[in-house]
Amino acid sequence: MSNGSHVAIVGATGAVGTELIQLLEQREFPVRELKLLASPKSAGKVLKFKGEDIRVETLSDSSFKRVDTALFSAGGSTSREYAKFAAGAGAVVIDNSSAFRMEADVPLVVPEINPADIQKHRGIIANPNCTTIIVLMALYPLHLAFRVKRAIASSYQAVSGAGAKAIHELSVQSKSFCSGEPVSPEVFPHPIAFNVLPQVDVFLDGGYTKEEQKFVNESRKIMHHPTFRASITCVRVPVFRAHSVAVHAEFEQPVSIDRARDALKNFEGLELVDDPSSNKYPMPISAAGKDKCQVGRLRVDSAWDNGLAFWVCGDQLLKGAALNAVQIAELLTK
């Protein structure tokens, strides 16, 4: 492999891990050597990168010698256990779990929003939650224009957010449902095919789920906006990939649709898809596989003074996870 960084991917065989491998190749990230790491049950699998076969190795505390960048996407417990070994060996960890996001000395970064925060890292940089990223890609440019006070939202989250097994579960259940066979859920607490579950992650005291709480806390940290208030209901829907979110936001300053459209149109990484008269608006089926998030259904909110309502879609595995991590790695190499 050419001159460049020595990169390790932890969780290389998972849904996000396989996207990371593809993105490093597609975006011509300067990889000198690529190390693929996973649990013992996945070790020995062979994955391709730039035409080469790379054997997946078992993750251990000695896996990170000579590694420059370690992309972690194997869940919070794995990150908590192994990130310190990677950082201790001199690698910069870019972690896709929730393990370190709210730690004061760990930057939580969306490159289009707060790239300067990367400079404050002490060996670990956190990738935000997928729903947070996708909402903020549309909310932040509006915040710059009008300064957001609060938001109420409902998410429509694809099964890809729960990993490769969840994608398989939706596929199997859909076939079983259509052929009249019984459906047995494993990943989710109820059948997901032809159903909607108003639960993403575990419930906390107060009735919100962990996913819903993440959105509030992470948004404040990323936007450097500690007084931002939000209430979101996170919902799992039978869609394979790409999350959608309906957002109702209230701003401090008077809003204008023309100014809002300009702010959204000119924001890097965001595409305005908003022509209801031609039935053009963001959908998960059109956002899937796309690097950019899509925003539309933009209108003045009828419930609030200085309010805007909008609908945003984004690929959970790309901008919501792997792409954001690779963009952080790209900024580090600069």
Token pair belonging to 262:
């300009």
Which of 243, 248, 293, 313 is the catalytic position? 243
DSSP secondary structure code for residue 59 in this structure: P
Q: Rounded to an integer, what distance in angstroms lies between the CA atom of residue 153 and that of residue 243?
A: 13
**14, 229, 219: which is closest to 101 by C-alpha?**
219
Return the pLDDT at 1. Answer: 44
Query: Can you tell me the mean pLDDT for 319-334?
Result: 97
Of the pLDDT bands very low, low, confident and very high (cuts 50, 70, 90), residue 169 is very high
Of the pLDDT bands very low, low, confident and very high (cuts 50, 70, 90), residue 334 is confident
DSSP secondary structure code for residue 203 in this structure: B
Q: Rounded to an integer, what distance in angstroms lies between the CA atom of residue 39 and that of residue 56?
A: 9
DSSP secondary structure code for residue 110 in this structure: -
* % pLDDT > 90, the chain: 98
Q: Rounded to an integer, what distance in angstroms lies between the CA atom of residue 215 and that of residue 229?
A: 10
Query: Can you tell me the mean pLDDT for 30-49?
Result: 97
Which of 6, 121, 130, 313 is the catalytic position? 130
**Residue 130 appears among annotated catalytic residues:** yes
What residue ranges do the domains of the chain occupy?
5-127+321-333, 131-316
| Residues composing the chain | 334
Q: Is the pLDDT of residue 2 over 70?
A: no
Specify the residue for token string 């996001």.
101
- In tens, the pLDDT along 244-296 reads 999 999 999 999 999 999 999 999 999 999 999 999 999 999 999 999 999 99
Helix pair angle (130-146, 257-265), 10° resolution: 130
Return the pLDDT at 3. Answer: 77
Predicted TM-score (pTM) above 0.95: yes
Amino acid (1-letter code) at residue 250: E
Return the pLDDT at 29. Answer: 98
DSSP secondary structure code for residue 278 in this structure: G
User: Which CATH class, in words, describes the domain spanning 5-127+321-333?
Assistant: alpha beta
Q: Is the pLDDT of residue 50 over 60?
A: yes
Contacts of 105 (CB under 8 A, 6+ apart): 120, 122
Return the pLDDT at 40. Answer: 97
**Residue 243 appears among annotated catalytic residues:** yes
Query: Can you tell me the mean pLDDT for 84-105?
Result: 98
Extended strands (E) in 11-81: 31-38, 46-49, 52-55, 57-58, 69-72
Query: Can you tell me the mean pLDDT for 65-83?
Result: 97
Query: Can you tell me the mean pLDDT for 180-191?
Result: 96
Q: Rounded to an integer, what distance in angstroms lies between the CA atom of residue 56 and that of residue 38?
A: 7
Alpha carbon 34 to its chain centroid, in Å, reads: 23
Return the pLDDT at 187. Answer: 97
> Residue 82's CB: how many other CB atoms inside 10 A?
21
Query: Can you tell me the mean pLDDT for 58-62?
Result: 98
Amino acid (1-letter code) at residue 40: P
304 or 3, greater pLDDT? 304
Query: Can you tell me the mean pLDDT for 227-247?
Result: 98
- In tens, the pLDDT along 298-309 reads 999 999 999 999
Q: Rounded to an integer, what distance in angstroms lies between the CA atom of residue 91 and that of residue 85?
A: 9
Tell the CATH superfamily of the 131-316 domain: Dihydrodipicolinate Reductase; domain 2 (3.30.360.10)
Q: Is the pLDDT of residue 76 over 80?
A: yes
Return the pLDDT at 300. Answer: 98
**b/e map of 208-243 (b: 16 or more CB within 10 Å)?**
bbebbebbbbbbbbbbeeeebebebbbbbbbbbbbb
